[in-house]
Structure 1
Amino acid sequence: MHIGMLRAAHEREQLILFVGAGVSQSLGLPPWSELIDHMARELGYKPEEYRRYGSALALAEFFRLQHGNIGPLRSWMDRKWHSPNMSVDRSRVHELIVRANFKIIYTTNYDRWLEYAFEHHQREYVKVVSVADVARIRRDVTQIVKFHGDFENDESIVLDETSYFRRLDFESPLDIKLRADVLGRSVLFIGYSLADINIRYLFYRLSRLWKASVPGVPQPPSYIFLPVRNPVQQAVLAQWGIETISPDTEEDPSTALAAFLEELVGDATAQPQPPSETKRNST
């Protein structure tokens, strides 16, 4: 039943895709713990000692306070997250995301792998990082909205405690755009860990936003794909209008996600036509 409703929403162009870190990690990106260990070494701490001093957000905040900005950390992440050993060319999940032709894709990932996937498969896109990018949006081209920032803009990165607290205010230009985009649409979340309190807070805020904006009108259902069934999360998320979708059997998360996307997009996976003169818009 979920697949049918999702497919219908997608065909009506009423489905927004939200892409989390799990989608990029399938390409071999380093785990978050490697970033924490790098911060420790840069600050002269032993990694096991540094990790005891606070959460990842607090440790990143301390790093910024010591350095004055996150520029050096962002540069290191950019190099590590885009190693020459990584490639999107053979990623079935990325291929399906591109071929599905979602009109709006939000991502909390800083990396460029979604953009690289669109370029590899010769599909146009518009990257939206700041309010200035909104003027470049075109009706016929996929929007890739970098909700937690982009490696090309240090100021946009949501990494330390202060930047996360600002994000939780839900009052930035991208937050206002999100509110406008989700009203009347369903949202599909893929690649997210429910251990991330920030994404859970996003679910909560989206639910509150709908009830405040359109009181008495049922909220369009939204969905999250989880590679493993979890009845506790299913019940908790249902109260916020989020339906969980999981495979019947346990398998590799990337394989399970690819199978789900294949079922969702169906004929949309056909080979794309060659692009027109300009194949992308990523500036």
Structure 2
Amino acid sequence: MDAELLHSYRAGKLMLFVGAGVSANLSLPTWSELTAHIALELGYDPKIFSTYGTPLALAEYYKRKKGTLGPLLSWMDREWHKPTTDISTSEIHRLITLGRFSRIYTTNYDRWLEMAHDKFEVPFDKIANVADLVSATEGQRQIVKLHGDFDDGNSIVLDETSYFHRLNYDSPLDIKLSNDVLGNSVLFIGYSVSDINIRLLFYRLTEMWGRSVLPSARPKSYVFTNRPNPVTQEVLGQWGIEMIVSEEDDPKKALTAFLQELVS
């Protein structure tokens, strides 16, 4: 375990960024299942439809054809939150909840992080919009939903237009993120380091650090993965982001073991 990472964690100066890989631990629907559902609703063969564009573009097409994402978001909410899912069985969510993380940011839409905090009786504030920022409790754990929340359909970043708008990085949540990253290290878990959308997020964070008074003194940040990639490791390294690579092939086992070592 990296000594600087441990020091940041123990000092309460480590922010957590949680991606889709953490939700996959709960066997939630994948992007391919989502686009297959879109295809069937619009009368297309799922395999053929998936070749017509990225998931963002396909969701954009759905919105154009249906006039709204409402029915799709309702389906997602039901499929992502089945009553048969028991959050107490997720060791990853337990470790995240009980960990000493100064903030938890997530690009996931689902409520399982919040449900885990309720289950393990850890107080938190959910931050998904300006109103949430105003009513947040001083000193309490914050779960910041950077790409929206099912409780507010208008906040969901799913189609291409909403994603491109999100890339402006000028919303109140982005201003909060800019402020939070200046004094904290960041640990990314559950992300594919080859995903261009995530790499853009890494780059944006680097820009935020670069605009600070002392960019050379920015805290080191990390991304955990179980897939070695020397090219990505070099590129992220120049942005001040260190890759932590597990030798465990199974992503669930790898992340669980890493969090157990960090949190304990």
Instruction: Report the TM-score, using the length of structure 1 for normalisation.
Output: 0.90
Offset, 1:215: 4.8
- Tell me the equivalent position of 2:32: 33
Mapped pair 1:252 → 2:250: yes
Match of residue 112 from structure 1: 111
TM-superposed CA distance for 1:71, in Å, is 0.8
Quote the Cα distance in structure 1 between the aligned partners of 2:69 and 2:193: 26
**Whole-angstrom CA distance in 2 between matches of 1:31 and 1:129:** 23
The 1:44–1:186 alpha-carbon spacing in structure 2 relative to 1, beyond 3 Å, is: same
d(CA) in 2 for partners of 1:128, 1:216: 27
The structural deviation recorded for 1:53 is: 1.5
Render the CA deviation track for 1:229-282: whole Å, top value 9, x for unaligned.
2222111110111000012x233211111111111122xxxxxxxxxxxxxxxx
Looking at structure 2, the residues matched to 204 and 47 of structure 1 have their Cα atoms a distance apart, in angstroms, of 33
Letter in 2 for 1:57: L
Partner of 2:41: 42
Tell me what 1:70 maps to.
69
How far apart in 1 are the matches of 2:166 and 2:215?
A: 28
Aligned equivalent of 1:271? none
Amino acid at match of 1:262: Q
Counterpart code for 2:257: A
Matches within 5 A, 1:1-283: 2=2, 4-215=3-214, 217-247=216-246, 249-266=247-264
Q: Which moved more, 1:58-67 or 1:41-50?
A: 41-50
Structure 1: how far apart are the matches of 2:211 and 2:139? 31
Helix, strand or coil: the match of 1:106? strand
Give the secondary structure class of the aligned counterpart of 1:8. Answer: helix
Query: In 2, Cα distance between the equivalents of 1:119 and 1:210?
Result: 33
Provide the C-alpha distance between the structure 2 equivalents of 1:228 and 1:46, rounded to a whole number of angstroms.
Answer: 32
For 1:192, give the aligned amino acid. Y
1:220 to partner: Cα distance: 1.1
Q: 1:251 to 1:49 in 2, by over 3 A?
A: closer
Kept in 1: contact 2:105–2:145 (CA 8 A): yes
Q: Deviations over 1:161-182 (max 9, x none)?
A: 0111011110111111100111
Alpha-carbon distance in 1 for matches of 2:68, 2:212: 38
Distance 2:121 2:215 in 1: 43
CA distance in structure 2 between the aligned counterparts of 1:106 and 1:197, rounded to whole angstroms: 19
Question: What letter corresponds to residue 252 of structure 1 in structure 2?
Answer: D
Runs of 4+ in 1 over 6 A off after TM superposition: none
> Secondary structure, in 3 states, of the residue corresponding to 1:89?
helix
Distance 1:224 1:152 in 2: 29
Alpha-carbon distance in structure 2 between the residues aligned to 1:257 and 1:250: 9
Question: Structure 1: how far apart are the matches of 2:64 and 2:107?
Answer: 23
Count of aligned residue pairs for this structure pair: 264
Quote the offset at 1:6 in angstroms.
Answer: 1.3
Gaps of 5+ in 1: 267-283
CA distance in 1, matches of 2:14, 2:138: 15
Write the distance in 1 (CA, Å) between the matches of 2:48 and 2:94.
Answer: 41
Task: Please provide the CA RMSD for this pair.
Answer: 1.3
Matches of 2:208 and 2:99 in 1, distance apart?
Answer: 27
Asked whether the equivalents of residues 109 and 146 of structure 1 are also in contact (C-alpha less than 8 Å), the reply is: yes
The answer as to whether partners of 1:101 and 1:142 remain within 8 angstroms in 2 is: no
Could you tell me which amino acid in structure 2 is paired with residue 256 of structure 1? A
Q: Say whether the 8 Å CA contact 2:9–2:100 is kept in structure 1.
A: no
Identity %: 55
By how many angstroms is 1:137 displaced? 1.9
